[in-house]
A and B are shown apart, each in its own frame.
Chain A
Amino acid sequence: MAISFKRLKKLILEMGPLILLFYICISEFHTQFYYWKIFSFNLQFIIIYYWVLRSSDILGYGFVFLSGLINDVVLSLPLGTSALCYLFVSVVAVYVRNATVRSSLFTDWFTFVIAILIGNFLYFFLMNKFGGAQVEYISIFYNSFFTFIFYPFFWVLFEFYRKFIIAGAK
């Protein structure tokens, strides 16, 4: 009984990042504040990059793909746009995980720039060429900039949560 409770607790804790990712994609929660137009960031990129890099067992690639599809429906983008961006962010994360022996906040943070650049470049390219929508480059720049700036904050938060999951499993 005690063992099954422990397993259930672990399972629930492990689902945390996944639930957060899906909730952000599907709900009205937006990381853009209109009173201060320039302030916006891509929380999905941060979640995907961190969890694929640090603990890929928690955030499966299939769920990353699915969250991208949901995001496309909610934001009325051509289906597959966000999924592609998220998967490329995951590719960078997996590459960094394979290439680095010992990762730290700083290595993660600076390699995250590559993930943001690839993810956002793909986004704008697909939107411009196939989406038929105009893109405001300056808001994209601010969005990328603040996504980069906010990464360490979420890194610390997620690191704490990850340690909490590990402790819960013991």
Chain B
Amino acid sequence: MSTSRDDFGIAIRSALLQRGAKQKFSLFVLILLSLSIFVLDVSKLKPIKIFRSLLNDGIYRISAISSSPIKFSGTVKDFFITHIFVYKENLKLKTELEELKNKDLQTSYLQTANKRLQDIIQLEKKSTFTTVAAKVLLDKNSPYLNSVIINRGSNSGIKLGMPVLSEGNLVGRVVEVNFFSARILLLNDLNSKIPVMISPKGSQAILSGRGEDKPKLEYLPEKFELNDKNLVFTSGKDGIFFEGIPIGNVIFEDNKIKVKLFSDPNQVSFVNVILDKSSDAEAM
């Protein structure tokens, strides 16, 4: 019994300390080095943060270059798929166009009515956002994190927590800022939790990512009634996000109330980071 324990000890010791003919370091030294780096990084000291920021910028750039063959193959695949289904898509688009034309007429009518009513009640002027456009540099998902890297960082005024839009809809928020790049945590990530408002009744809830395409709505009011017209917007209750940013529409799937996002976070190529809220006059 003690002999086998001794053998195990010797084998482990040899595995940790022994170096092969071509090995420059032993595993033990490298494990100690990794632990030291880990402790330094977790301690979030300012010099370490600056070093990490520089390292991130460098590696993200190399990563974007090395990913170009993968991106190119994806583009080629999309090109062929689009051409195969172009006829079907054309028919579908024609029908959709007709529907949209009808909706457009309705929208213009509603806009006029809305403007007239706003004039009547002297509502606060509608605000727009000051944004900075960015390109998605890297989109590497892992089982633990749904996030993308963009090619703008603190040099463009991006700060932690800023909301990120794609085609005018919310797709995530900034969780890491480097000098020339930033990381966006997507709405469908397990760690994403955003306070939202559901129209038309203005019910409050929390949009919670689940690692899947459709995030879940949590803490809904007890008497919440689900219907086709339920749209989800940011409520701004956290004091970080501005209110009224469109997110998606409510659906019932797998016995859960989920949100079908207007912009698929896994398909974003260009995004807008909201830097500030400015009035109409400023925006113009």
Contact = CB atoms under 8 A, between A and B. Distances in A.
Interface of A: 23, 26-30, 32, 34, 37, 40, 56-57, 60-62, 64-65, 68-70, 73-81, 83-84, 87-88, 90-91, 94-95, 98-99, 126-127, 130, 133-136, 139-140, 143
B27 A61 contact: yes
Contacts of A69: 37
Given A57-B21, A62-B23, A87-B27, 9 more contacts: A28-B71, A28-B138, A40-B143, A75-B144, A76-B145, A83-B34, A95-B15, A127-B144, A133-B191
Interface of B: 7, 11-12, 14-16, 18, 20-27, 30-31, 33-42, 52, 55-56, 59-60, 62-63, 66-67, 70-71, 138-145, 147, 175-176, 183, 190-191, 211-213, 266
A83 B101 CA distance: 56
A139 B211 contact: yes
Q: Chain A: interface secondary structure?
A: helix
A37 B212 contact: yes
B211 A65 contact: no
Contacts of A134: 190-191
A27 B23 contact: no
A98 B11 contact: yes
A26 B55 CA distance: 13
A81 B175 CA distance: 19
A155 B41 CA distance: 35
B266 A27 contact: no
A32 B42 contact: no
Contact of B190 (A57, A94, A136): A136
Contacts of B67: 27-29
B38 A81 contact: yes
Given A75-B140, A87-B27, A98-B14, A80 B145 contact: no
A65 B70 contact: no
Contacts of A78: 38, 41-42
Contacts of A34: 141, 213, 266
25 contacts: A27-B67, A28-B63, A32-B141, A56-B23, A57-B21, A57-B22, A61-B23, A61-B27, A65-B34, A70-B59, A73-B55, A75-B145, A76-B147, A76-B175, A80-B36, A80-B37, A84-B38, A91-B12, A94-B27, A95-B11, A98-B14, A99-B7, A130-B42, A134-B190, A135-B190
**5 A-B pairs with the lowest CB-CB distances in the bound complex, closest first:** A80-B38, A28-B67, A94-B15, A79-B41, A80-B37
B66 A126 contact: no
